[in-house]
Amino acid sequence: MALEPPLSRVQRWMQEVVVHPGSIDEALASKAARAEVPPERLGDVVLPSRTLAPAQRVEIYQRMYLLRMEEALGIDYPALARFLGPRGFRDLVRDYVASFPSRSYTLNRLGDHLPAFVLTAGGLRHRGFCHDLARLELAMTEVFDETETPSLSAEAVAAVPAEAWAAARLRPIAAFRLLALRYPANAYVQSIRGRGHRHPRPRRKDGWLAVYRRNYSVRRLELSLPAYRLLSELVAGAPLGPAVAAAARRRPGSGAGPTQLYRWFRGWMAKGLFMGLEGLEPSTNRL
Amino acid sequence: MNRWNLPDLGIGVGLRTVHFGHILSRRPAVDWFEVLSENFMDTGGHPLWVLDQVTERYPIALHGVSMSIGGTDPLDREYLRKLKALAARTRAHWVSDHLCWTGVAGRNVHDLLPMPYNEEALRHTAARVRQVSEILERPLVLENPSSYVEFASSTLTEWEFLSRLGQEADCGLLLDVNNVYVSSFNHGFDPRVYIDSVPADRVVQYHVAGHTNKGTHILDSHSDHAVAEVWELFRRSCRRTGNVSTLYEWDEDIPDFDVLHAEALKARAYREEPARPPARVARGA
């Protein structure tokens, strides 16, 4: 008797087969696929062609699935892919999409869980380095896609009375991320972007980084630890006065003196890291 | 002319990232651009900025890959809301997607998966097309897919399914002549019968593309020049529909813009023949 499953069942079956990471025979015989269409009834669901058996025809879709996932994640994680090599990255992608399949109409967010997944993925060498690479590359894609927000202008900054700065809170642009790294992930990303650059070894080396977008271009700014801490507090909404005072107190002699603080602050403003000032007196709050 | 009087925009190409710089700096004399909807729905960065520049200078049509019009999950209302907003932002002449499904149970496999062509699938898809057209406040345009699988439960040919779908849901057709060729090879039908059978007055756009012949089957790879047989199918169809907006697709191993544009302009030789009135086609035939 012919098997005529309803549309919903056909689709559930075909999806289970297409996303299965094993061979086509394993996919057809998997528990999930078998629950919809027994493998021995395949010929009742899919017709053969002149040249291909039903299983071979379905296999075309199955083979393309992982290739497409690998291509999409390779675009977002080129440094991680380079570090792991083709086979290592393919294995990671296969395991990742089995745990975190796309549930969105866009592939842009497919890799959102990859940094966390790297922490538990099986068979991964240099896990900490891979984690930092993934975190950095995710931050870069997020910054790339963030909403464009205008930066605070020099005129707006100049218009703030000196006495108002202590209470001011700086609001960062949307396309901004701060990262504390334990491995030289930024140097690795840089090394794959230029020819002839030597890749740094995946050894422990603390680093701090701001990832931001300027003129629609994603940029990375290496920070010292005191600068990272100050920027973190400002981004978290701390008023400028107490944050600066805390930075100066934190490590006397560390270089976070008034002159250095002023240089950092001026540099961050020039790079357009902030979009607004809050907490000013009403007369100065219309910037 | 199609039944909605949607214009013949001429010969266009797809807007692709690798060509952004060329398009903005050289302003090539392209008639129009087709924009992949999903690439611009969730970005506020450089791609959207480029799209805004392109929209100022060129006519746009939106083309999507994730509507899953044949899927059995509920329609994604958030997706449709964003699609409608993007259509308004780009002043898109029409919005198209594919006759396919892309996933169920909340998943998206990001492929254009094939439908069985039978009464159940027709009723299901027609109802969804009507919903989408109502939400978008414009007729949905659907592209015939290329496919590698035929279902035993199909009782209609693909061209019969498309004709019936047009009648029942009043949707437009983006006729991909390469997909017709690919599927005809894979399934063993005569592509000329397909071309001669689709409702000519519903064709609002053509796709022409290259493919990869694997011997046992053809992959719709969009990776090469179109073969002569595909161009001939295009010529044959243009005789029925009159000149209709035409787009050349090239998505793998994308060449320099000028090479792509030159390939697209080959369409002139096939569509600018002595003008003939479109064949009289009964409404919905």
- HEC-encoded secondary structure of chain B: CCCCCCCCCCEEEECCHHHHHHHHHHCCCCCEEEEEHHHCCCCCCHHHHHHHHHHHHCCEEEECCCCCCCCCCCCCHHHHHHHHHHHHHHCCCCEEEECCECCCCCCCCCCCECCCCCHHHHHHHHHHHHHHHHHHCCCCEEECCCCCCCECCCCCCHHHHHHHHHHHHCCEEEEEHHHHHHHHHHHCCCHHHHHHHCCHHHEEEEEEECCEECCCCEECCCCCCCCHHHHHHHHHHHHHHCCCCEEEECCCCCCCHHHHHHHHHCHHHHHCCCCCCCCCCCCCC
pLDDT (mean) for B30-48 = 96
Q: In whole angstroms, what is the distance from residue A105 CA to residue A108 CA?
A: 9
Query: Which pLDDT does position B201 carry in this prediction?
Result: 97
Name A86's bridge partners: none
| CB contact A190 to B (< 8 Å) | no
Q: Which of A78-92, A166-180, B15-29, B270-284 has the lowest mean pLDDT?
A: B270-284
- Integer angstrom CA distances of residue A217 from A75, A133, A270, B47: 16, 19, 15, 11
Read off the pLDDT of residues A82-115 as tens digits, 9 standing for 90 and up: 999 999 999 999 999 999 999 999 999 999 999 9
Read off the pLDDT of residues B149-158 as tens digits, 9 standing for 90 and up: 999 999 999 9
Query: Which pLDDT does position B282 carry in this prediction?
Result: 43
Read off the pLDDT of residues A119-159 as tens digits, 9 standing for 90 and up: 999 889 999 999 999 999 999 999 999 999 999 988 888 88
Question: Binning pLDDT at 50, 70 and 90, where does residue A1 land?
Answer: low
CA B282 to chain centre: 23
| CB contact A217 to B (< 8 Å) | yes
Query: Which pLDDT does position B212 carry in this prediction?
Result: 95
**Six-digit token string for A82:** 């380079």
- Cβ neighbours of B103 in A, within 8 Å: 15, 102
- Cβ neighbours of A47 in B, within 8 Å: 150-152
Residues constituting chain A: 287
A151: number of Cβ within 10 Å: 19
Looking at per-residue pLDDT, the higher value among B8 and A164 belongs to: B8
Question: Binning pLDDT at 50, 70 and 90, where does residue A286 land?
Answer: very low
Question: How confident is the prediction for chain A on average, in pLDDT?
Answer: 92
Least Cα distance to A178 among A214, A230, A106 occurs for A230
| CB contact B79 to A (< 8 Å) | yes
User: Is the pLDDT score of B13 beyond 60?
Assistant: yes
Task: Please state the ipTM of this predicted complex.
Answer: 0.93
Query: Which pLDDT does position A5 carry in this prediction?
Result: 83
User: Is the pLDDT score of B278 beyond 60?
Assistant: no
Read off the pLDDT of residues B48-78 as tens digits, 9 standing for 90 and up: 999 999 999 999 999 999 999 999 999 999 9
Query: Which pLDDT does position A195 carry in this prediction?
Result: 67
Query: Which pLDDT does position B272 carry in this prediction?
Result: 61
Query: Which pLDDT does position A261 carry in this prediction?
Result: 82
Interchain contact, B71 vs A46, CB within 8 Å: no
User: Is the pLDDT score of A199 beyond 90?
Assistant: no
User: Is the pLDDT score of B18 beyond 90?
Assistant: yes
Query: Which pLDDT does position B283 carry in this prediction?
Result: 40
Question: Binning pLDDT at 50, 70 and 90, where does residue A252 land?
Answer: low
Q: In whole angstroms, what is the distance from residue A125 CA to residue A242 CA?
A: 43
Q: In whole angstroms, what is the distance from residue B126 CA to residue B117 CA?
A: 12
Q: Which of A267-276, B31-40, B92-101, B167-176 has the lowest mean pLDDT?
A: A267-276
User: Is the pLDDT score of B90 beyond 70?
Assistant: yes
- Cβ neighbours of B46 in A, within 8 Å: 144, 216-217
User: Is the pLDDT score of A171 beyond 60?
Assistant: yes
User: Is the pLDDT score of A254 beyond 90?
Assistant: no
User: Is the pLDDT score of A180 beyond 70?
Assistant: yes
The shortest CB-CB distance from B120 to any of A7, A14, A213 is to A7
Question: Binning pLDDT at 50, 70 and 90, where does residue A193 land?
Answer: confident
- Cβ neighbours of B71 in A, within 8 Å: 11
| CB contact B213 to A (< 8 Å) | no
pLDDT (mean) for A10-39 = 98
Closest residue of chain A to B43, computed from CA coordinates? A145
Instruction: Give percent of chain B with pLDDT exceeding 70.
Output: 95
Alpha-carbon gap: A140 to the closest alpha carbon of chain B (Å): 12
- Integer angstrom CA distances of residue B148 from A24, A262, B58, B166, B208: 15, 64, 35, 23, 19
Alpha-carbon gap: B88 to the closest alpha carbon of chain A (Å): 18
| CB contact B4 to A (< 8 Å) | no
The shortest CB-CB distance from B45 to any of A64, A107, A144 is to A144
- Cβ neighbours of B216 in A, within 8 Å: 51-52, 56
Mutate to test the interface with B, among A105, A109, A176, A216 (most CBs of B within 10 A): A105
Q: In whole angstroms, what is the distance from residue B162 CA to residue A162 CA?
A: 70
| HSE-up of residue B7 (Cα within 13 Å, Cβ side) | 10
| CB contact B52 to A (< 8 Å) | no
- Cβ neighbours of A211 in B, within 8 Å: none
Alpha-carbon gap: A165 to the closest alpha carbon of chain B (Å): 31
Is A51 buried (19+), middle (13-18) or exposed (0-12) by CB count in 10 A? middle
Instruction: Give percent of chain A with pLDDT exceeding 70.
Output: 94
- Cβ neighbours of A45 in B, within 8 Å: 151-153
- Cβ neighbours of A27 in B, within 8 Å: none
Question: Phi then psi for B214, rounded to 5 degrees?
Answer: -95, 5
Query: Which pLDDT does position A262 carry in this prediction?
Result: 82
Helix (H, G, I), strand (E, B) or coil at A216: coil
Interchain contact, B116 vs A7, CB within 8 Å: yes
Task: Among A165-174, B136-145, B271-280, name the most confident range.
Answer: B136-145
The shortest CB-CB distance from B116 to any of A10, A43, A107 is to A10
- Cβ neighbours of A68 in B, within 8 Å: 110-111
Closest residue of chain B to A72, computed from CA coordinates? B110
CA B249 to chain centre: 10
pLDDT (mean) for A247-271 = 78
The shortest CB-CB distance from A12 to any of B104, B152, B188 is to B104
Read off the pLDDT of residues B240-270 as tens digits, 9 standing for 90 and up: 999 999 999 999 999 999 999 999 999 999 9
A26: number of Cβ within 10 Å: 12
Interface of A with B in 93-152 (CB under 8 A): 101-109, 143-148
Query: Which pLDDT does position A198 carry in this prediction?
Result: 80
Query: Which pLDDT does position A15 carry in this prediction?
Result: 98
- Cβ neighbours of B116 in A, within 8 Å: 7, 10
Question: Phi then psi for B206, rounded to 5 degrees?
Answer: -115, 150
User: Is the pLDDT score of A284 beyond 80?
Assistant: no
Size of interface A-B (CB pairs under 8 A): 132
Q: Is the pTM of this model over 0.90?
A: yes
| CB contact B5 to A (< 8 Å) | no
The per-residue DSSP string of A237-265 comes to T--HHHHHHHHHHHSTTSS-SHHHHHHHH
- Cβ neighbours of B44 in A, within 8 Å: 145-148, 174
pLDDT (mean) for A277-286 = 62
Query: Which pLDDT does position A287 carry in this prediction?
Result: 39
Question: How confident is the prediction for chain B on average, in pLDDT?
Answer: 95
Query: Which pLDDT does position B206 carry in this prediction?
Result: 98
